[in-house]
Amino acid sequence: MTLTPEDSTAIWLSLKVALTATLLALPFGFALAWLIVFKKFRGKVMLEVLVNLPLTLPPVVIGFFLLLLLGKNGWIGKLLDASAIPIIFTWKAAVIASATVGFPLLVRSIRLGMESIDEQLIEASRSLGAAWYDTLVTIILPLSLRGIMAGSLLMFARSLGEFGATIIIAGNIPGVTQTIPLAIYDYASSPSSVTMALSLCLVSILISVVVLTIHELLGKKLDRRGAL
Amino acid sequence: MKLRINTEKKQGNFLLQVHTEVSGERIGIFGQSGSGKSTLVHLISGLLQPDRGEIYLNDECLFSTSKRVNLSPERRRIAIVFQQAMLFPHLSVKANLLYGYRRCRTENRQIKPETLIAILKLQPLLQRGVANLSGGEKQRVALGRAILANPRLLLMDEPLSALDDTLRFQIIPYLKSVSEEFGIPYLFISHSILEMQLMADRILVIKNGQIAETTTPDQLARKSMAQSPKGYLNLIHLADPFQKNGLYAYQWGDNTLFVSDGEPTGQSLFELSSREIILFKKHPEAISARNLLKCTVAEMFDSEGRVGIVLAMKSEKLVAEIVRSAAEELKITVGSTLFAAIKASSFRKLG
């Protein structure tokens, strides 16, 4: 197995992008899951459809819409341009692509975790003098920890594999925006680089195995602690 | 404690309409499941918002549509003990107990954790995880947690329903003692007449989402005598027996009661069904029943074709139940002298 310096950069970039995307999405995912599970409001079904949309849309479509939004003439793009913050074709664009595509997985897992909390536990907390935000932090957050963790790891893993949306808004620039899947794509298009592609595939599998193992081990540990 | 409720709440096809004012320290809310008891608990505690109306606790407005007041649950200071203990699974027993206490304003912290832990005998449980507690222990911790929040009112929503009989009667003294000891008024919600007799002074009977009547535990038990499978339950506290011929002999006023299933020492509570008492007009010469009490008829009441006879001894009373034809045949009237025969095995020990 041989890895070129570009490959190593791609691996580090992949990990950096996936981690940043997950951390960035986490508070929003938690808040949205909380809204969907515990609050009654109009347009809830629409919100759910919207949240889940990236799950069913081709990532290329998402990438295209993000490009329209973040590009020079897009709503957000104009603002970013005015404040001189470059996004498109930088690693930050890869983060946004990953965060958008992986977001439904995160919300879904946290939601499942929250839905398993007995409503009377929340009622007990409120009647014992906790305001809603206090209950959110001291009861809902710890009891949905397993869902949060499962969702984060799933999203992290999904981000590592993100290709379609990333290539559109971040491009495939070696050393700048080239993540593992993009590098494999490059190698795969030239017949002489099969070994190089295989090496990166192996790294990909290795990272996935590590992530899934952590998921299982942490899940067991939380089970032992008696948390939900 | 004075509670004034004039509210309406529609949930699907079910309409709860409560218009009542009740005062006292030990109030029972009695009703079958689906009658609206739990909805009422939710409305009082603020966990559910009424469609319209008002709720006042001791002249403080908790909810009013006209005044646009809706105090949030955490500001009402009304704690709830649920049917299931609902302990927070990620917290220790100690952290569960202190959850409400830590959120209670310092000036309201009249009940101290040490005192409560001693009364509820919680010391040995403190370091354990909540998953390692038995059903009765869990409910004791839940009760302690609610009391330590120093509430103005305690709502007990069928707190004994999930427990078996033995545990139920172990918990009842705790429920009563904490509210007496700390002076916290409570609403006790249940569908059991026996629990109402043990826990409440006044009772609101709720039927199909409305308060059907306000009554006393005794009146409720008398009224339901004919339908209830065990008739009217006489509750008798007896203490410190001596043993004789394999039976426990308890002093009860001027009489001695012989009981098969007693407790060698201490106080015990027994139930005696009104249907287990056989009445004689004259002293029977020889009977197998171990208890024969001479008594006077103090009162008679009707319960759907059956006649309840309140038997008075010197200071004790018992309710016996006979069919109307028997009452007519024996010519029983208020003031008649009767002999009541009760088998030693008819006394059922509750706790």
CA of A149 vs chain B CAs: smallest distance (Å): 16
**Using the beta-carbon criterion (under 8 Å), do B47 and A139 form an inter-chain contact?**
no
Is residue B181 located within the same domain as residue B260? no
Domain ranges of chain A: 5-225
Euclidean distance between CA atoms A91 and A179, whole angstroms:
9
Query: How many CB atoms within 10 Å of residue A84?
Result: 6
Of A120, A143, A227, the CB nearest to B86: A120
Q: State yes or no: pLDDT of A135 exceeds 60.
A: yes
Is residue B273 located within the same domain as residue B183? no
Residue at B267 is within a domain: yes
Residue at B303 is within a domain: yes
Chain B contact for A143, CB < 8 A?
yes
Residue at B206 is within a domain: yes
Burial class (CB in 10 A: 0-12, 13-18, 19+), A41: exposed
Is residue B123 located within the same domain as residue B239? no
Nearest CA in chain A to B72: A131
Is residue B109 located within the same domain as residue B170? yes
Residue at B226 is within a domain: no
Strands B52-57 and B60-64: antiparallel
Q: State yes or no: pLDDT of A228 exceeds 50.
A: no
**Using the beta-carbon criterion (under 8 Å), do A128 and B45 form an inter-chain contact?**
no
Is residue B34 located within the same domain as residue B135? yes
Euclidean distance between CA atoms A186 and A178, whole angstroms:
10
Is residue B6 located within the same domain as residue B113? yes
At residue A225, the pLDDT reads 63
The CATH number that applies at residue B81 is 3.40.50.300
Is residue B271 located within the same domain as residue B330? yes
Mutate to test the interface with A, among B43, B84, B88 (most CBs of A within 10 A): B88
Nearest to B191 by CA among B35, B7, B14, B351: B35
**Between residues 17 and 56 of chain B, which touch chain A (CB distance below 8 Å)?**
42, 45-47
**Between residues 115 and 174 of chain B, which touch chain A (CB distance below 8 Å)?**
129-131, 145-146, 149, 155
Nearest CA in chain A to B95: A138
Domain range for B12: 2-217
Of A121, A127, A225, the CB nearest to B79: A127
Domain count, chain B: 2
The CATH number that applies at residue B315 is 2.40.50.100
8 A C-beta contact, residue B187 and residue B156: yes
What pLDDT band is residue A226 in, cutting at 50, 70 and 90?
low
Euclidean distance between CA atoms A205 and A151, whole angstroms:
19
Nearest to B82 by CA among B114, B37, B148, B50: B37
Among candidate residues B168, B191, B217, the one where a domain is terminated:
B217
Is residue B251 located within the same domain as residue B152? no
Among candidate residues B191, B217, B243, the one where a domain is terminated:
B217
Model ipTM over 0.90:
no
Give the neighbor-by-neighbor strand order of the sheet with B247-252: B242-244, B247-252, B255-259
pLDDT (tens, 9 = 90+) of chain B, 351 residues, equals: 999 999 999 999 999 999 999 999 999 999 998 899 999 999 999 999 999 999 999 999 999 999 999 999 999 999 999 999 999 999 999 999 999 999 999 999 999 999 999 988 899 999 888 999 998 899 999 999 999 999 999 999 999 988 888 888 888 888 888 888 889 999 999 999 999 999 999 999 999 999 999 999 999 999 999 888 899 999 999 999 999 989 999 999 999 999 999 988 888 999 999 999 999 999 998 889 999 999 999 999 999 889 999 999 988 999 999 999 999 998 999 999 999 999 999 999 987
Is residue B244 located within the same domain as residue B213? no
* Residues across chain A: 228
Alpha helices in chain B (DSSP H): 37-45, 73-76, 93-102, 113-119, 135-148, 165-182, 193-199, 217-223, 324-329
Among candidate residues B217, B251, B269, the one where a domain is terminated:
B217
**Using the beta-carbon criterion (under 8 Å), do A124 and B90 form an inter-chain contact?**
no
**Using the beta-carbon criterion (under 8 Å), do B47 and A134 form an inter-chain contact?**
no
Is residue B126 located within the same domain as residue B273? no
Is residue B173 located within the same domain as residue B278? no
Q: What is the radius of gyration, based on Cα positions, of chain A?
A: 20
Indicate the CATH number for domain A5-225. Answer: 1.10.3720.10
User: For A106-153, where are the E strands, in sequence order?
Assistant: none
Residue at B149 is within a domain: yes
Is residue B152 located within the same domain as residue B280? no
Dihedral sign, Cα of residue A168, residue A173, residue A175, residue A180: positive
Residue at B325 is within a domain: yes
**Using the beta-carbon criterion (under 8 Å), do A120 and B84 form an inter-chain contact?**
yes
Euclidean distance between CA atoms A9 and A173, whole angstroms:
11
